[in-house]
């Protein structure tokens, strides 16, 4: 199942020291609810929130999972007491909020002392070369224009991008991997991350990437600084894509 496979990438740094079958978990910015559905079999209960009408899709998508509850709420109005969750996670959300540091603090406040916070923020290409960074700057100009389109046109345009850009580059990576199984040069290709992903994932991520008016990016050092300022210690980053996702322990 694709959710399980992709979930393993985001939660690769989460283990039995972070969650158990009795853990209470909060998913901040759940969107369609796919990560709540991924983690639900591994924990006791999942509360999931999102400020948008995506909660309607999330409710339908997770209707067969009894230990998930979906609520419509934003990160600045999380409707649960402080220090009430063993694990709080927010994946691909906080970089779309103007004050990412404040938003992270709101999330961490819901973690019990000794509990953990998992976050994924877009990276600022701090582990990439000059050519990759130049290509990104060009694509960012396109994102700036597309993000201003009406939603219907925006969604259509991002589907076209997924078809003409994401899919060909991703499948080129798939081919190179099969032709040169003992080499790794192709992992540096743009959008190689999607070499084993479905078109559905590509289309959704293209909309998330090009459809949003605000996209902040952070270095590993900046994320460490923000997490530390929120009272997190024992911070661990994954060295695998997607970059960067990290987990920290709340100690105060």
**What is the per-residue DSSP string for 170-228?**
HHHHHHHHHH-TT--GGGGSTTGGGGGS-HHHHHHHHHHHHS-S----B-HHHHHHHHH
Helix, strand, coil percentages for the chain (3-state, nearest 5): 45, 20, 35
Q: What is the DSSP letter of 80?
A: S
Contact 80, 73 (CB under 8 A): no
In the numeric block, which tokens belong to residue 66? 């009894």
- What is the C-alpha to C-alpha distance for residues 117 and 109, in angstroms, rounded to an integer? 10
Instruction: With beta carbons less than 8 A apart as the criterion, state whether 57 and 121 touch.
Output: no
Please work out, in degrees rounded to the nearest 5, the angle formed at the alpha carbon of residue 144 by the alpha carbons of 143 and 147: 75
Contact 35, 29 (CB under 8 A): no
| pLDDT score recorded for residue 121 | 97
Cα–Cα distance for residue pair 23/216, rounded to 1 Å: 31
What pLDDT is attached to residue 236?
A: 98
212/144 Cα distance (integer angstroms): 8
Q: Structure tokens of 115? A: 């509990």
User: C-alpha distances in angstroms, 212 versus 51, 102, 209?
Assistant: 15, 20, 6
Tokens 């991002």 -> residue:
158
Residues whose CB falls within 8 Å of the CB of residue 21, separated by 6 or more in sequence, listed in order: 42, 43, 44
Can you list the positions of beta strands (E) in the chain? 24-28, 45-50, 68-72, 85-91, 111-120, 232-237, 245-250
User: How far from 166 is each of 40, 148, 211, 243, CA to CA, in Å?
Assistant: 30, 21, 15, 18
**pLDDT number for residue 47:** 98
Segments of the chain scoring below 50 in pLDDT: none
DSSP 163: I
Q: In what order do the strands lie in the sheet with 245-250?
A: 68-72, 45-50, 24-28, 85-91, 111-120, 245-250, 232-237
Position 179 scores a pLDDT of: 93
């Amino acid at each position: 199942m694709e959710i399980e496979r992709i979930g393993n990438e985001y939660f690769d740094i989460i283990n039995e020291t972070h969650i158990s079958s009795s853990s209470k978990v909060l998913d901040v910015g759940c969107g369609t609810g796919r990560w709540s559905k991924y983690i639900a079999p591994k924990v006791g209960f999942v509360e999931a929130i999102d400020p948008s009408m995506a909660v309607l899709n999330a409710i339908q998508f997770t209707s067969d999972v009894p230990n998930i509850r979906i609520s419509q709420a934003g990160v600045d109005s999380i409707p649960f007491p402080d220090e009430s969750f063993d694990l709080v996670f927010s994946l691909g959300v906080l970089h779309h909020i103007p004050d990412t540091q404040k938003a992270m603090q709101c999330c961490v406040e819901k973690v019990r002392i000794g509990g953990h916070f998992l976050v994924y923020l877009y990276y600022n290409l701090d582990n990439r070369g000059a050519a990759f960074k130049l290509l990104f700057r060009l694509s960012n100009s396109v994102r700036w224009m597309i993000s201003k389109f009406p939603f219907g046109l925006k969604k259509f345009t991002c589907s076209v991008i997924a078809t003409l850009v994401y899919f060909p580059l991703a499948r080129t990576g798939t081919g190179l991997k099969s032709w040169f199984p003992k080499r790794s040069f192709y992992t540096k290709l743009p959008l190689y991350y999607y070499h084993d992903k479905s078109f559905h994932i590509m289309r959704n991520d293209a909309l998330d990437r090009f459809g949003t008016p605000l996209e902040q990016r952070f270095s590993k050092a900046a994320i460490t600084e923000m997490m530390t300022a929120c009272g997190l210690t024992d911070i661990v980053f994954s060295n695998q894509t997607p970059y960067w996702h990290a987990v920290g322990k709340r100690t105060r």
